[in-house]
Structure 1
Amino acid sequence: MKKNVGSVDKIVRIILGLVLLSLFFFLDGGIKYIGLLGIILLLTAFISFCPIYTIFRINTHSKE
């Protein structure tokens, strides 16, 4: 699994993931389950790999 998520992208994913995940705990009704999408963003941030980026051949990870 080749890394394709860069550091700025990773920070944005973590922040957005935490915001979405908080929706699950603070909202009522069926819309609160949209907040579970935050888990996907957090997971892709921590493993530095996004399968959707692979499909579209996007790479924000710089080669150091």
Structure 2
Amino acid sequence: MSRNVGMADRMVRIVVGLALIAFALRNGLPIKGWDWAGLIGFVPLLTGLFATCPAYSLIGYSSCEKRR
């Protein structure tokens, strides 16, 4: 897959992903109640780390800077 996530977008995804994961793990393991919803944070975290978003690929969007 080619990169389609720009630098600012990557930073936002990483911060949001880490915040959601921290929400899920705030009381430790095992995860109880609605805390499991915070595990959704792995999606933006991984898309930010790998700079590739499958949803962007489907719609043909890229937040990367254009090369000259």
CA-based RMSD = 1.4
C-alpha separation between the residues in 1 aligned to 2:55 and 2:33? 26
State, as a whole percentage, how many aligned pairs show the same letter.
34
- Structure 1 unpaired stretches of 5+: none
The count of corresponding residues between Structure 1 and Structure 2 is 64
The 2-side partners of 1:55 and 1:44 are apart by 14
SS of the residue 2:25 aligns to: helix
More off after superposition, 20-29 vs 30-39: 20-29
Runs (4 or more) in structure 1 with deviation over 4 Å come to none
**2:42 alignment partner in structure 1:** 39
* Structure with the largest fraction of helix: 1
Q: TM-score, normalised by structure 1?
A: 0.87
